[in-house]
Chains A and B, each alone.
Chain A
Amino acid sequence: MAELTYREAVAAGIAQEMRRDPNVVLIGEDVARAGGVFKATVGLLDEFGPERVRDTPISEQAILGAAMGAAMTGLRPIAEIMFSDFFAVCWDIVANEIAKTRYMTDGQVTLPLVIRSGNGGGSRFGAQHSQSVENWAMAVPGLKVVAPAYPADVKGLLAAAVRDEDPVLFFEQKSLYATKGEVPDGEHVVPLGKANVLRRGDDVTIAALALMVPRAMQAAEILEKEHGIRATVVDVRSLVPLDTQTILEEVAHTGRLVTVEENPRLCGWGAEIASIVAEELFWDLDGPIVRITTPHVPLAAADNLEDAQIPSVDKIVARVRELVD
């Protein structure tokens, strides 16, 4: 086990796959010489050279179009969209081209590619550089959607995404880049579509994603120590494919579900999980399903304003107490 930061785990995951497979290449704005604006690709240019690690112009459509063209002709590209907000300028390539081409061609075209992107708030970047857009991606058939919370999962899920034959959108939470965690030595791969149960309790199941996972864990500790409420915390990790079985099993045990979502309220990923649980587990529920989300507002830049918007540990504690008490 080595202790890596979340950003180091990104580079470690990419390097592991590039060493293994010469068809894995990396492109994006500032990913090569600068090592990424978030320093998540440091060292890759030196190790793999300029043919495999390439800086691009600020041309998000060309970045993703190039990745798609390369993937359909034998490569396994990893493309970076620096901030996930910029998906809005290349969404045609994502939603119309990459997501649908396999289906429209009756399976002739396979697109083994990964699009990594810095996602989410907490960095005081304002409304156009802080969004959590995983629910945009989740709404399009043909895209796999992954959002890790811990360095070990960053490396392992990124490796699995590269090896996957389908396009994967890989959301890296920007506020987590500096966080540290143990990462297994040697080859490390975490399969897509498996939620991770981080702790178990009998009173409530909290399902969270990315930055909301460590907050849910902190909340669970406070709930137990200060209020005697024992919570299960499920790190959803992968929205598509979605590990509904794990979630259903955990909710069946506790009888209560709370989702903690960074995305704005409407059509957030928790709504889908809530509907599945309501439909398939209704008679096992002991109370209403509660969704804790960022409200349906753009994000503000000032620290106190942004903190008031994104679900906090205190907010999670308070809402869970209202539900359980």
Chain B
Amino acid sequence: MDAILTNTTAALREPRAAIDRETRLTLYRRMVECRYLEKRAHDLFLQNLIKGTSHLGLGQEAVAAGFGVAMRPTDYTFCTYRGHNHTLVRGVSMTKILGELMGNSSGLMRGKGGSMHLTSVEHHMMGSYAIVGAHLTIAAGAAWSARYRGTDQVAVCFFGDGATNIGTFHEALNLAVVWKLPVVFVCENNRYMEYTAIHEVTAVEHPAADRASAYGLEPILIDGNDVDVVYTTALRALDAARRGGGPSLIEAETYRHGGHSRADPGKYRPEDEVKEWLAKDPIPRYRQRLLDLGIDEETLVSIEAEAQRKVDEATEEARRAPPSDERIAFENVWADGGAAWRN
């Protein structure tokens, strides 16, 4: 399977060189924005300004950014409870994301959804799903609808390595292939399903890529910490789906810097493994590549400063927002806006 990784990377070497400067800067900006926003979310948790749970994608930003930049505004995103980054890269405001995490009136859903359910239909961000694997089938349905309605929209569905062992993964892949649906399934393999190493509970080494052939799909295993690779792979898969080529299954190898959720310090991970992956952090790695390509330090510093300023402003705005009106807890069960079940 290492051969697949090598081959895929080799095949992508050429298109990678073709990425223009502006796109590269956008990819970098998106990753930095994700990183700063989630670090802030972490701080706000420690201050108890965010309650409940959260699942951070620190370390996995290249997957969200690479796809976010490659997708068209009308393409659909379906992601998991580890979905802050996937929401941000679709253009949702930082204030609305932080507001939802804080559970007040500035939030995307005014506190009715929370960290695990970020959704912004106007951005075609069709939801963050907290029951592992469910949204693979829902993304397939959105792709079916896109084709039925004669649009060229593609549904992109992000999920973790753990989801490859649940039935919906297999049901959705089979249906998407049989119906030749415009959907791209993206497994973010961060090596741990919650607290357990994925290899300890999975029959194959590469949980998604090694199963691709069962559905007649090309095994695509990529370096998910190289945003150029993610971006070019995304473009290729989106294009294939748009041209009627059916679904793709991509396994992006990555690593979360923290634990599974707020409650988890992630101590079960061997020290050298953590060290090895921190050295492959997608952001400093890309920064160095941009410098090597001749982009000046000042440009990068200004991107970083701008991202930090946006996070600071959003934090203040979200913090200042009043609590949601309690009446909304009893609204919008039904399409008429209400919750009545009897007359």
B160 to chain A: closest CB distance in Å? 17
The answer to whether the Cβ of B149 comes within 8 Å of any Cβ in the partner chain is yes
Chain A residue with Cβ nearest B175: A62
Q: Which B residues lie within 8 Å of A97 (CB)?
A: 129, 131, 134-135, 138
Chain A residue with Cβ nearest B170: A59
B144–A244 contact, CB under 8 A?
no
Bound-complex Cα distance A92 to B137 (A): 12
B320 to chain A: closest CB distance in Å? 20
The answer to whether the Cβ of A108 comes within 8 Å of any Cβ in the partner chain is yes
B332–A107 contact, CB under 8 A?
yes
Q: Which of A66, A74, A276 has the most CB of B within 10 A?
A: A66
- If A64-B137, A65-B137 touch, whether A241 touches B340 (CB-CB below 8 Å) is yes
- The segment from B82-90, B112-120, B288-296 found at the interface with A is B112-120
A56–B175 contact, CB under 8 A?
yes
Total number of B residues with any Cβ neighbor in A under 8 Å:
53
The answer to whether the Cβ of B73 comes within 8 Å of any Cβ in the partner chain is no
B142–A72 contact, CB under 8 A?
yes
A107–B337 contact, CB under 8 A?
yes
- If A61-B168, A105-B113 touch, whether A69 touches B333 (CB-CB below 8 Å) is no
B195 to chain A: closest CB distance in Å? 22
The answer to whether the Cβ of A160 comes within 8 Å of any Cβ in the partner chain is no
Bound-complex Cα distance A54 to B148 (A): 12
A83-122: CB near B (< 8 Å → 1, else 0) gives 0000000001100110001111111111010000000000
A65–B168 contact, CB under 8 A?
yes
B134–A72 contact, CB under 8 A?
no
Bound-complex Cα distance A70 to B146 (A): 8
The answer to whether the Cβ of B279 comes within 8 Å of any Cβ in the partner chain is no
A105–B140 contact, CB under 8 A?
no
Q: Which B residues lie within 8 Å of A161 (CB)?
A: none
A-B contact pairs, 5 of them (CB 8 A): A70-B148, A75-B148, A105-B117, A243-B342, A245-B343
Shortest beta-carbon contacts, A-B, top 4 = A65-B137, A69-B141, A165-B335, A66-B141
A106-B328, A165-B336 given. 14 additional CB < 8 A pairs?
A51-B148, A59-B175, A65-B135, A65-B136, A66-B140, A66-B175, A68-B141, A69-B142, A70-B144, A96-B131, A102-B334, A105-B112, A141-B333, A241-B340
